Chains A and B, each alone.
Chain A
Amino acid sequence: MLRKIVSILAGLGLWHFLATVVVNDTTLLVSPIVVVKTAYQMLFVTGELYPHLFASSWIFFYGFALAIVVGVPLGFVMALNAAVRDYVNPWMATLYTTPRIAFAPVLLLWFGIGAGSKVAIVFLGCIFPILINSYYGMRTVDREYVELARSFRLGRWSLFFKILLPASVPFVLAGIRLAIGRGLTGVAIAEWFGATEGLGYLIFFAGQTLNIPTLFVGVAVFAALGIVAFEVVRRVEIYATPWRKTSAGG
Protein backbone atom coordinates (compact mmCIF):
# COMPACT_ATOMS: atom_id res chain seq x y z
CA MET A 1 0.00 0.00 0.00
CA LEU A 2 2.80 2.39 0.91
CA ARG A 3 4.53 1.69 -2.40
CA LYS A 4 1.32 2.40 -4.28
CA ILE A 5 0.92 5.76 -2.55
CA VAL A 6 4.56 6.66 -3.17
CA SER A 7 4.16 5.72 -6.82
CA ILE A 8 1.02 7.82 -7.26
CA LEU A 9 2.51 10.82 -5.47
CA ALA A 10 5.72 10.58 -7.49
CA GLY A 11 3.71 10.45 -10.72
CA LEU A 12 1.68 13.49 -9.76
CA GLY A 13 4.85 15.32 -8.74
CA LEU A 14 6.50 14.58 -12.07
CA TRP A 15 3.36 15.70 -13.88
CA HIS A 16 3.30 18.97 -11.93
CA PHE A 17 7.01 19.53 -12.64
CA LEU A 18 6.58 18.86 -16.37
CA ALA A 19 3.55 21.16 -16.60
CA THR A 20 4.90 24.11 -14.68
CA VAL A 21 8.64 24.01 -15.45
CA VAL A 22 9.32 22.05 -18.65
CA VAL A 23 6.23 22.72 -20.83
CA ASN A 24 4.92 25.85 -19.15
CA ASP A 25 2.14 26.34 -21.69
CA THR A 26 -1.46 25.94 -20.46
CA THR A 27 -2.74 25.21 -23.96
CA LEU A 28 -0.67 21.99 -23.97
CA LEU A 29 -0.42 20.74 -20.40
CA VAL A 30 -1.66 21.93 -17.02
CA SER A 31 -0.63 20.94 -13.52
CA PRO A 32 -2.70 18.31 -11.67
CA ILE A 33 -3.52 21.06 -9.18
CA VAL A 34 -5.33 22.98 -11.92
CA VAL A 35 -7.15 19.81 -12.94
CA VAL A 36 -8.31 19.20 -9.37
CA LYS A 37 -9.50 22.82 -9.09
CA THR A 38 -11.38 22.54 -12.37
CA ALA A 39 -12.92 19.25 -11.30
CA TYR A 40 -14.02 20.89 -8.04
CA GLN A 41 -15.63 23.71 -10.00
CA MET A 42 -17.41 21.36 -12.38
CA LEU A 43 -18.61 19.07 -9.61
CA PHE A 44 -19.55 21.42 -6.78
CA VAL A 45 -19.85 24.95 -8.18
CA THR A 46 -21.29 24.83 -11.69
CA GLY A 47 -22.33 21.16 -11.58
CA GLU A 48 -21.79 20.97 -15.33
CA LEU A 49 -20.02 17.59 -15.08
CA TYR A 50 -23.05 15.60 -13.93
CA PRO A 51 -25.05 15.42 -17.16
CA HIS A 52 -21.94 14.14 -18.94
CA LEU A 53 -21.15 11.67 -16.19
CA PHE A 54 -24.69 10.28 -16.08
CA ALA A 55 -24.97 10.07 -19.85
CA SER A 56 -21.73 8.14 -20.15
CA SER A 57 -22.46 5.93 -17.14
CA TRP A 58 -25.83 4.85 -18.47
CA ILE A 59 -24.48 4.11 -21.92
CA PHE A 60 -21.67 2.11 -20.39
CA PHE A 61 -24.00 0.27 -18.05
CA TYR A 62 -26.51 -0.69 -20.72
CA GLY A 63 -23.90 -1.83 -23.25
CA PHE A 64 -21.93 -3.70 -20.60
CA ALA A 65 -24.97 -5.41 -19.05
CA LEU A 66 -26.31 -6.37 -22.47
CA ALA A 67 -22.93 -7.87 -23.37
CA ILE A 68 -22.97 -10.00 -20.20
CA VAL A 69 -26.56 -11.12 -20.77
CA VAL A 70 -25.78 -12.13 -24.36
CA GLY A 71 -22.11 -13.11 -24.12
CA VAL A 72 -22.10 -15.48 -21.15
CA PRO A 73 -24.93 -17.78 -22.30
CA LEU A 74 -23.73 -17.70 -25.92
CA GLY A 75 -20.20 -18.62 -24.84
CA PHE A 76 -21.54 -21.50 -22.74
CA VAL A 77 -23.73 -22.79 -25.57
CA MET A 78 -20.75 -22.62 -27.93
CA ALA A 79 -18.68 -24.63 -25.48
CA LEU A 80 -21.35 -27.31 -25.12
CA ASN A 81 -22.64 -27.56 -28.66
CA ALA A 82 -20.37 -28.21 -31.63
CA ALA A 83 -22.92 -27.01 -34.18
CA VAL A 84 -23.41 -23.64 -32.50
CA ARG A 85 -19.64 -23.37 -32.13
CA ASP A 86 -19.08 -23.95 -35.83
CA TYR A 87 -21.75 -21.43 -36.82
CA VAL A 88 -20.62 -18.68 -34.46
CA ASN A 89 -16.84 -19.12 -34.62
CA PRO A 90 -16.12 -17.49 -38.00
CA TRP A 91 -18.23 -14.45 -37.08
CA MET A 92 -16.63 -14.21 -33.69
CA ALA A 93 -13.12 -14.32 -35.17
CA THR A 94 -13.96 -11.75 -37.85
CA LEU A 95 -15.79 -9.28 -35.64
CA TYR A 96 -13.32 -9.63 -32.82
CA THR A 97 -10.34 -8.68 -34.95
CA THR A 98 -12.10 -5.80 -36.74
CA PRO A 99 -11.40 -2.44 -35.11
CA ARG A 100 -14.66 -1.38 -33.53
CA ILE A 101 -14.18 2.23 -34.52
CA ALA A 102 -14.85 1.08 -38.08
CA PHE A 103 -18.38 0.13 -37.03
CA ALA A 104 -19.13 3.43 -35.35
CA PRO A 105 -20.29 5.39 -38.45
CA VAL A 106 -22.49 2.60 -39.73
CA LEU A 107 -24.01 1.98 -36.29
CA LEU A 108 -24.80 5.68 -36.14
CA LEU A 109 -26.56 5.35 -39.47
CA TRP A 110 -28.58 2.39 -38.28
CA PHE A 111 -29.45 3.42 -34.76
CA GLY A 112 -29.34 7.18 -35.09
CA ILE A 113 -27.41 9.57 -32.91
CA GLY A 114 -29.42 8.67 -29.80
CA ALA A 115 -28.47 6.22 -27.08
CA GLY A 116 -29.06 3.18 -29.33
CA SER A 117 -25.96 3.53 -31.46
CA LYS A 118 -23.77 4.33 -28.45
CA VAL A 119 -25.01 1.33 -26.49
CA ALA A 120 -24.37 -0.77 -29.58
CA ILE A 121 -20.77 0.42 -29.81
CA VAL A 122 -20.15 -0.28 -26.12
CA PHE A 123 -21.86 -3.65 -26.50
CA LEU A 124 -19.55 -4.56 -29.38
CA GLY A 125 -16.57 -3.61 -27.29
CA CYS A 126 -17.65 -5.64 -24.27
CA ILE A 127 -19.13 -8.73 -25.87
CA PHE A 128 -15.99 -10.41 -27.17
CA PRO A 129 -13.86 -10.76 -24.07
CA ILE A 130 -16.96 -11.96 -22.19
CA LEU A 131 -18.02 -14.36 -24.94
CA ILE A 132 -14.54 -15.74 -25.54
CA ASN A 133 -13.75 -16.19 -21.85
CA SER A 134 -17.09 -17.85 -21.13
CA TYR A 135 -16.50 -20.16 -24.06
CA TYR A 136 -12.95 -21.12 -23.14
CA GLY A 137 -13.77 -21.28 -19.45
CA MET A 138 -16.37 -23.94 -20.05
CA ARG A 139 -14.40 -25.72 -22.76
CA THR A 140 -11.34 -26.15 -20.59
CA VAL A 141 -13.02 -27.45 -17.43
CA ASP A 142 -10.70 -30.03 -15.94
CA ARG A 143 -11.45 -33.46 -17.42
CA GLU A 144 -11.13 -34.95 -13.99
CA TYR A 145 -14.14 -32.97 -12.75
CA VAL A 146 -16.23 -34.18 -15.65
CA GLU A 147 -15.20 -37.78 -14.95
CA LEU A 148 -16.05 -37.23 -11.34
CA ALA A 149 -19.57 -36.27 -12.35
CA ARG A 150 -19.76 -39.35 -14.56
CA SER A 151 -18.42 -41.50 -11.76
CA PHE A 152 -21.20 -40.31 -9.46
CA ARG A 153 -23.73 -40.69 -12.27
CA LEU A 154 -24.77 -37.06 -12.17
CA GLY A 155 -27.28 -36.13 -14.85
CA ARG A 156 -26.74 -33.48 -17.52
CA TRP A 157 -28.23 -30.65 -15.51
CA SER A 158 -26.26 -31.56 -12.42
CA LEU A 159 -23.11 -31.75 -14.52
CA PHE A 160 -23.79 -28.25 -15.78
CA PHE A 161 -24.83 -26.59 -12.54
CA LYS A 162 -22.53 -28.44 -10.14
CA ILE A 163 -19.39 -28.83 -12.23
CA LEU A 164 -19.19 -26.86 -15.47
CA LEU A 165 -20.78 -23.63 -14.31
CA PRO A 166 -18.84 -23.14 -11.06
CA ALA A 167 -15.61 -24.18 -12.78
CA SER A 168 -16.18 -21.49 -15.42
CA VAL A 169 -16.96 -18.64 -13.05
CA PRO A 170 -13.37 -17.37 -12.64
CA PHE A 171 -12.93 -17.26 -16.44
CA VAL A 172 -16.21 -15.45 -16.94
CA LEU A 173 -15.32 -12.88 -14.31
CA ALA A 174 -11.89 -12.36 -15.91
CA GLY A 175 -13.67 -11.74 -19.22
CA ILE A 176 -16.02 -9.25 -17.58
CA ARG A 177 -13.02 -7.51 -16.08
CA LEU A 178 -11.39 -7.18 -19.51
CA ALA A 179 -14.66 -5.89 -20.90
CA ILE A 180 -14.64 -2.89 -18.55
CA GLY A 181 -11.71 -1.23 -20.30
CA ARG A 182 -13.03 -2.02 -23.74
CA GLY A 183 -16.47 -0.80 -22.79
CA LEU A 184 -15.17 2.54 -21.56
CA THR A 185 -13.17 2.95 -24.75
CA GLY A 186 -16.44 2.22 -26.56
CA VAL A 187 -18.15 5.02 -24.62
CA ALA A 188 -15.44 7.48 -25.64
CA ILE A 189 -15.60 6.41 -29.30
CA ALA A 190 -19.41 6.54 -29.33
CA GLU A 191 -19.49 10.03 -27.90
CA TRP A 192 -16.97 11.39 -30.32
CA PHE A 193 -19.41 10.75 -33.13
CA GLY A 194 -22.25 13.22 -33.15
CA ALA A 195 -22.97 13.33 -29.42
CA THR A 196 -24.13 16.40 -27.52
CA GLU A 197 -23.29 15.15 -24.04
CA GLY A 198 -21.19 12.58 -22.26
CA LEU A 199 -17.60 12.39 -21.10
CA GLY A 200 -16.35 11.50 -24.58
CA TYR A 201 -18.09 14.56 -25.96
CA LEU A 202 -16.67 16.69 -23.14
CA ILE A 203 -13.12 15.54 -23.89
CA PHE A 204 -13.57 15.94 -27.62
CA PHE A 205 -15.08 19.42 -27.30
CA ALA A 206 -12.45 20.53 -24.77
CA GLY A 207 -9.74 19.34 -27.13
CA GLN A 208 -11.25 21.32 -30.00
CA THR A 209 -11.35 24.49 -27.91
CA LEU A 210 -7.92 23.94 -26.28
CA ASN A 211 -9.58 23.77 -22.87
CA ILE A 212 -6.89 21.56 -21.39
CA PRO A 213 -8.09 21.56 -17.74
CA THR A 214 -11.57 20.34 -18.73
CA LEU A 215 -10.06 17.76 -21.05
CA PHE A 216 -8.03 16.30 -18.22
CA VAL A 217 -11.03 16.30 -15.90
CA GLY A 218 -12.88 14.24 -18.50
CA VAL A 219 -10.02 11.78 -18.75
CA ALA A 220 -9.74 11.56 -14.96
CA VAL A 221 -13.46 10.86 -14.59
CA PHE A 222 -13.15 8.11 -17.18
CA ALA A 223 -10.32 6.62 -15.17
CA ALA A 224 -12.41 6.89 -12.01
CA LEU A 225 -15.32 5.12 -13.72
CA GLY A 226 -12.93 2.32 -14.69
CA ILE A 227 -11.65 2.02 -11.13
CA VAL A 228 -15.18 1.91 -9.72
CA ALA A 229 -16.25 -0.75 -12.23
CA PHE A 230 -13.13 -2.82 -11.49
CA GLU A 231 -13.82 -2.60 -7.80
CA VAL A 232 -17.41 -3.74 -8.28
CA VAL A 233 -16.24 -6.76 -10.29
CA ARG A 234 -13.59 -7.51 -7.68
CA ARG A 235 -16.23 -7.50 -4.95
CA VAL A 236 -18.40 -9.82 -7.01
CA GLU A 237 -15.36 -12.05 -7.52
CA ILE A 238 -14.67 -12.28 -3.79
CA TYR A 239 -18.31 -13.00 -3.13
CA ALA A 240 -18.71 -15.54 -5.94
CA THR A 241 -15.43 -17.39 -5.51
CA PRO A 242 -14.67 -17.52 -1.79
CA TRP A 243 -12.65 -20.67 -2.43
CA ARG A 244 -9.86 -18.95 -4.30
CA LYS A 245 -6.68 -18.48 -2.35
CA THR A 246 -6.27 -14.85 -3.28
CA SER A 247 -8.82 -12.74 -5.02
CA ALA A 248 -7.17 -11.86 -8.30
CA GLY A 249 -6.12 -8.25 -8.57
CA GLY A 250 -6.60 -7.68 -4.85
Chain B
Amino acid sequence: MEKNQRGGIGMGGPVLELRNLAKEIVRPGTSPFVIFQNINLTVRDGEFVSIVGPSGCGKTTMLRVINGLMPASGGDILIDGKSARQLDHELVMGFVFQGASLLPWRTSLKNVLLGIEGKKEPGKKAEHTARRYLDLVGLSGFENHYPHELSGGMQQRVNLARALAVDPRILLMDEPFAALDAQTRNFMQLELLRIWRETKKTVIFVTHMISEAILLSDRVIVFSHRPGTIRSEFHVPLARPRTMEVKADPRFLELETTIWKQIEEEVNASGGFAKM
Protein backbone atom coordinates (compact mmCIF):
# COMPACT_ATOMS: atom_id res chain seq x y z
CA MET B 1 0.00 0.00 0.00
CA GLU B 2 1.29 3.34 -0.94
CA LYS B 3 1.64 6.42 1.16
CA ASN B 4 -0.21 9.41 -0.07
CA GLN B 5 -1.50 12.81 0.83
CA ARG B 6 -4.44 11.41 2.69
CA GLY B 7 -2.58 11.49 5.97
CA GLY B 8 -0.88 8.18 5.31
CA ILE B 9 -4.03 6.09 5.02
CA GLY B 10 -3.43 3.40 2.46
CA MET B 11 -5.73 3.22 -0.51
CA GLY B 12 -6.67 0.07 -2.36
CA GLY B 13 -6.45 -0.76 -6.00
CA PRO B 14 -8.52 0.75 -8.77
CA VAL B 15 -12.28 0.67 -8.20
CA LEU B 16 -13.26 2.46 -11.36
CA GLU B 17 -11.42 2.53 -14.66
CA LEU B 18 -12.60 4.47 -17.67
CA ARG B 19 -10.93 3.45 -20.93
CA ASN B 20 -11.33 5.68 -23.97
CA LEU B 21 -14.84 6.43 -22.82
CA ALA B 22 -16.81 8.49 -25.33
CA LYS B 23 -20.35 9.71 -25.80
CA GLU B 24 -21.82 11.15 -28.94
CA ILE B 25 -25.34 11.79 -30.07
CA VAL B 26 -26.13 10.65 -33.56
CA ARG B 27 -27.91 13.29 -35.60
CA PRO B 28 -29.54 12.19 -38.83
CA GLY B 29 -28.11 13.88 -41.90
CA THR B 30 -25.13 15.47 -40.19
CA SER B 31 -22.04 14.57 -38.20
CA PRO B 32 -22.51 13.16 -34.71
CA PHE B 33 -22.55 15.57 -31.81
CA VAL B 34 -19.58 14.55 -29.66
CA ILE B 35 -20.16 15.31 -25.99
CA PHE B 36 -16.95 13.82 -24.58
CA GLN B 37 -14.23 11.53 -25.87
CA ASN B 38 -10.92 9.86 -24.98
CA ILE B 39 -11.65 9.75 -21.30
CA ASN B 40 -9.08 7.64 -19.45
CA LEU B 41 -9.36 7.75 -15.72
CA THR B 42 -8.54 5.44 -12.86
CA VAL B 43 -10.08 6.01 -9.45
CA ARG B 44 -8.71 4.12 -6.49
CA ASP B 45 -10.61 2.66 -3.57
CA GLY B 46 -11.57 5.34 -1.09
CA GLU B 47 -10.41 8.18 -3.30
CA PHE B 48 -12.31 11.44 -3.62
CA VAL B 49 -12.06 12.76 -7.17
CA SER B 50 -13.66 15.97 -8.39
CA ILE B 51 -14.33 16.95 -11.96
CA VAL B 52 -14.43 20.61 -12.94
CA GLY B 53 -14.66 22.25 -16.32
CA PRO B 54 -16.46 24.87 -18.34
CA SER B 55 -20.26 24.70 -18.63
CA GLY B 56 -21.40 22.20 -21.22
CA CYS B 57 -18.12 20.28 -21.25
CA GLY B 58 -19.88 16.94 -20.72
CA LYS B 59 -18.88 16.26 -17.14
CA THR B 60 -22.43 15.67 -15.95
CA THR B 61 -23.14 13.52 -19.00
CA MET B 62 -20.07 11.45 -18.19
CA LEU B 63 -21.36 10.85 -14.68
CA ARG B 64 -24.69 9.75 -16.12
CA VAL B 65 -22.95 7.38 -18.54
CA ILE B 66 -20.93 5.90 -15.69
CA ASN B 67 -24.14 5.38 -13.74
CA GLY B 68 -25.79 3.65 -16.69
CA LEU B 69 -28.47 6.29 -17.17
CA MET B 70 -27.35 6.53 -20.79
CA PRO B 71 -25.19 4.19 -22.86
CA ALA B 72 -21.62 5.04 -23.83
CA SER B 73 -20.83 5.37 -27.53
CA GLY B 74 -17.37 3.95 -27.15
CA GLY B 75 -14.83 2.74 -24.64
CA ASP B 76 -15.20 0.71 -21.46
CA ILE B 77 -16.22 1.23 -17.88
CA LEU B 78 -14.64 -1.22 -15.47
CA ILE B 79 -15.65 -1.59 -11.86
CA ASP B 80 -13.24 -3.68 -9.81
CA GLY B 81 -11.94 -4.95 -13.13
CA LYS B 82 -15.35 -6.11 -14.36
CA SER B 83 -17.28 -4.51 -17.19
CA ALA B 84 -20.06 -2.25 -15.93
CA ARG B 85 -22.34 -3.76 -18.56
CA GLN B 86 -22.08 -7.17 -16.90
CA LEU B 87 -22.64 -5.67 -13.47
CA ASP B 88 -25.65 -3.64 -14.52
CA HIS B 89 -28.21 -5.62 -12.56
CA GLU B 90 -26.15 -5.26 -9.42
CA LEU B 91 -26.31 -2.03 -7.57
CA VAL B 92 -22.74 -0.83 -7.50
CA MET B 93 -23.25 2.91 -7.63
CA GLY B 94 -25.03 5.52 -5.62
CA PHE B 95 -26.08 8.64 -7.47
CA VAL B 96 -26.68 11.97 -5.79
CA PHE B 97 -28.69 14.13 -8.13
CA GLN B 98 -28.32 17.85 -8.57
CA GLY B 99 -31.91 18.49 -7.58
CA ALA B 100 -32.73 16.56 -4.44
CA SER B 101 -35.08 14.41 -6.57
CA LEU B 102 -36.78 13.15 -3.46
CA LEU B 103 -40.13 11.53 -4.06
CA PRO B 104 -42.63 14.01 -2.62
CA TRP B 105 -45.04 11.27 -1.57
CA ARG B 106 -42.47 9.54 0.58
CA THR B 107 -41.17 10.60 3.96
CA SER B 108 -37.42 10.96 4.52
CA LEU B 109 -37.23 7.42 5.80
CA LYS B 110 -39.22 6.01 2.89
CA ASN B 111 -37.11 7.97 0.44
CA VAL B 112 -33.95 6.47 1.85
CA LEU B 113 -35.63 3.06 1.72
CA LEU B 114 -36.30 3.37 -2.01
CA GLY B 115 -32.83 2.26 -3.02
CA ILE B 116 -32.69 -0.52 -0.45
CA GLU B 117 -36.04 -1.86 -1.65
CA GLY B 118 -34.30 -2.62 -4.94
CA LYS B 119 -31.89 -4.87 -3.05
CA LYS B 120 -34.70 -7.04 -1.65
CA GLU B 121 -33.56 -6.89 1.94
CA PRO B 122 -36.02 -7.91 4.63
CA GLY B 123 -38.14 -4.99 5.84
CA LYS B 124 -36.83 -4.70 9.41
CA LYS B 125 -33.22 -4.79 8.40
CA ALA B 126 -33.78 -2.33 5.55
CA GLU B 127 -35.50 0.11 7.85
CA HIS B 128 -32.70 -0.20 10.36
CA THR B 129 -30.19 0.57 7.60
CA ALA B 130 -32.21 3.56 6.42
CA ARG B 131 -32.40 4.98 9.95
CA ARG B 132 -28.69 4.51 10.40
CA TYR B 133 -27.90 6.53 7.27
CA LEU B 134 -30.38 9.26 8.13
CA ASP B 135 -28.57 9.46 11.44
CA LEU B 136 -25.21 9.60 9.65
CA VAL B 137 -26.30 12.63 7.62
CA GLY B 138 -27.61 14.29 10.79
CA LEU B 139 -31.34 13.86 10.21
CA SER B 140 -32.39 11.78 13.19
CA GLY B 141 -35.84 12.92 14.20
CA PHE B 142 -36.83 13.84 10.65
CA GLU B 143 -37.68 10.30 9.53
CA ASN B 144 -41.34 11.06 9.09
CA HIS B 145 -41.03 14.45 7.42
CA TYR B 146 -42.07 14.85 3.82
CA PRO B 147 -39.59 16.56 1.46
CA HIS B 148 -41.59 19.80 1.33
CA GLU B 149 -41.20 20.06 5.08
CA LEU B 150 -37.39 20.06 4.79
CA SER B 151 -34.98 22.84 3.82
CA GLY B 152 -32.86 22.55 0.67
CA GLY B 153 -29.84 21.46 2.67
CA MET B 154 -31.83 18.83 4.53
CA GLN B 155 -33.27 17.54 1.28
CA GLN B 156 -29.75 17.05 -0.05
CA ARG B 157 -28.83 15.24 3.15
CA VAL B 158 -31.68 12.80 2.52
CA ASN B 159 -30.51 12.50 -1.07
CA LEU B 160 -27.02 11.62 0.16
CA ALA B 161 -28.35 9.16 2.75
CA ARG B 162 -30.42 7.47 0.05
CA ALA B 163 -27.38 7.01 -2.17
CA LEU B 164 -25.22 5.76 0.72
CA ALA B 165 -27.84 3.39 2.08
CA VAL B 166 -27.39 0.96 -0.80
CA ASP B 167 -23.75 0.68 0.28
CA PRO B 168 -22.48 1.47 -3.21
CA ARG B 169 -18.97 0.73 -4.40
CA ILE B 170 -18.82 4.20 -5.93
CA LEU B 171 -20.69 7.35 -5.00
CA LEU B 172 -21.41 9.64 -7.95
CA MET B 173 -22.35 13.19 -7.06
CA ASP B 174 -23.67 15.57 -9.71
CA GLU B 175 -23.31 19.15 -8.45
CA PRO B 176 -25.22 18.21 -5.32
CA PHE B 177 -24.84 21.60 -3.63
CA ALA B 178 -25.39 23.83 -6.66
CA ALA B 179 -28.90 24.84 -5.62
CA LEU B 180 -27.99 25.72 -2.04
CA ASP B 181 -27.20 29.16 -0.68
CA ALA B 182 -23.52 29.92 -0.02
CA GLN B 183 -23.67 29.40 3.73
CA THR B 184 -25.58 26.12 3.58
CA ARG B 185 -23.20 25.03 0.88
CA ASN B 186 -20.19 25.56 3.15
CA PHE B 187 -21.79 23.53 5.90
CA MET B 188 -22.71 20.77 3.50
CA GLN B 189 -19.14 20.59 2.20
CA LEU B 190 -17.84 20.05 5.72
CA GLU B 191 -20.60 17.52 6.36
CA LEU B 192 -19.65 15.66 3.22
CA LEU B 193 -16.01 15.55 4.37
CA ARG B 194 -17.11 14.07 7.67
CA ILE B 195 -19.44 11.53 6.07
CA TRP B 196 -16.79 10.53 3.56
CA ARG B 197 -14.33 10.01 6.39
CA GLU B 198 -16.82 7.82 8.22
CA THR B 199 -17.94 5.76 5.24
CA LYS B 200 -14.64 5.59 3.32
CA LYS B 201 -16.49 5.64 0.03
CA THR B 202 -14.96 6.19 -3.37
CA VAL B 203 -16.45 9.44 -4.63
CA ILE B 204 -16.65 11.12 -8.02
CA PHE B 205 -17.88 14.64 -7.54
CA VAL B 206 -18.87 16.96 -10.40
CA THR B 207 -18.92 20.66 -9.59
CA HIS B 208 -18.62 24.11 -11.11
CA MET B 209 -16.98 25.48 -8.02
CA ILE B 210 -13.19 25.12 -8.03
CA SER B 211 -12.77 25.87 -4.33
CA GLU B 212 -15.33 23.19 -3.51
CA ALA B 213 -13.42 20.67 -5.63
CA ILE B 214 -10.12 21.47 -3.93
CA LEU B 215 -11.54 21.48 -0.43
CA LEU B 216 -13.13 18.07 -0.83
CA SER B 217 -10.84 16.12 -3.13
CA ASP B 218 -7.71 14.07 -3.26
CA ARG B 219 -7.54 14.77 -6.96
CA VAL B 220 -9.14 17.39 -9.21
CA ILE B 221 -9.71 16.57 -12.89
CA VAL B 222 -10.05 19.51 -15.28
CA PHE B 223 -12.19 18.96 -18.37
CA SER B 224 -11.62 20.75 -21.66
CA HIS B 225 -14.43 22.52 -23.47
CA ARG B 226 -16.72 20.40 -25.61
CA PRO B 227 -16.09 17.79 -26.84
CA GLY B 228 -14.90 17.25 -23.31
CA THR B 229 -11.78 15.34 -22.48
CA ILE B 230 -9.38 15.36 -19.55
CA ARG B 231 -7.12 18.38 -19.89
CA SER B 232 -5.17 18.00 -16.68
CA GLU B 233 -5.33 16.62 -13.19
CA PHE B 234 -4.03 17.89 -9.89
CA HIS B 235 -3.29 16.15 -6.63
CA VAL B 236 -4.45 18.26 -3.74
CA PRO B 237 -1.46 18.61 -1.41
CA LEU B 238 -3.49 19.44 1.70
CA ALA B 239 -3.55 17.29 4.79
CA ARG B 240 -6.76 15.81 6.12
CA PRO B 241 -8.95 16.23 7.99
CA ARG B 242 -9.60 19.59 6.40
CA THR B 243 -11.55 22.52 7.69
CA MET B 244 -12.58 25.79 6.05
CA GLU B 245 -9.20 27.20 7.12
CA VAL B 246 -7.40 25.33 4.35
CA LYS B 247 -9.00 27.82 1.97
CA ALA B 248 -6.48 30.35 3.26
CA ASP B 249 -3.54 28.00 2.71
CA PRO B 250 -1.20 29.39 -0.01
CA ARG B 251 -1.15 25.99 -1.75
CA PHE B 252 -4.95 26.06 -1.89
CA LEU B 253 -4.98 29.53 -3.41
CA GLU B 254 -2.27 28.68 -5.88
CA LEU B 255 -4.12 25.57 -7.03
CA GLU B 256 -7.37 27.48 -7.31
CA THR B 257 -5.69 30.11 -9.50
CA THR B 258 -4.02 27.52 -11.71
CA ILE B 259 -7.26 25.61 -12.27
CA TRP B 260 -9.20 28.80 -12.86
CA LYS B 261 -6.72 29.91 -15.54
CA GLN B 262 -7.11 26.59 -17.31
CA ILE B 263 -10.88 26.79 -17.28
CA GLU B 264 -10.70 30.36 -18.51
CA GLU B 265 -8.51 29.23 -21.40
CA GLU B 266 -10.99 26.50 -22.24
CA VAL B 267 -13.88 28.94 -22.19
CA ASN B 268 -12.00 31.34 -24.47
CA ALA B 269 -10.99 28.52 -26.79
CA SER B 270 -14.64 27.54 -27.15
CA GLY B 271 -15.52 31.03 -28.38
CA GLY B 272 -15.90 32.89 -25.13
CA PHE B 273 -18.32 32.89 -22.26
CA ALA B 274 -21.05 34.74 -24.16
CA LYS B 275 -21.33 31.89 -26.62
CA MET B 276 -21.68 29.16 -24.02
A residues apposed to B, CB below 8 Å: 144-145, 147-148, 150-155, 158, 162-163, 166-167, 169, 241-245
Contact = CB atoms under 8 A, between A and B. Distances in A.
Contacts of A151: 67-69, 93, 95
A153 B146 contact: no
Interface centre among B93, B105, B118, by most A CB within 10 Å? B105
B104 A148 contact: no
B69 A145 contact: no
A243 B148 contact: yes
B118 A243 contact: no
Contact of A148 (B90, B97, B105): B97
Given A144-B97, A153-B118, A166 B69 contact: no
Contacts of A158: 117-118
A144 B99 contact: yes
11 contacts: A145-B101, A145-B103, A152-B115, A152-B118, A153-B88, A153-B118, A163-B103, A167-B105, A169-B105, A243-B105, A244-B104
Interface in B126-182: 146-148, 166
A220 to B, nearest CB: 38
Given A152-B114, A166-B103, A243-B148, A147 B89 contact: no
Q: Which of B99, B114, B117, B146 has the most CB of A within 10 A?
A: B114
Interface in B44-66: none
Given A144-B101, A158-B118, A245-B148, 17 more contacts: A144-B99, A147-B101, A148-B101, A150-B69, A151-B93, A151-B95, A152-B91, A152-B115, A152-B166, A153-B90, A154-B118, A166-B105, A169-B105, A241-B105, A242-B146, A243-B147, A243-B148
A167 B168 CA distance: 27
Contacts of A241: 105
Contacts of B95: 148, 151
A163 B114 CA distance: 10
B174 to A, nearest CB: 11
A51 B206 CA distance: 69
B106 interface: yes
Interface string B69-98: 100000000000000000011110101010
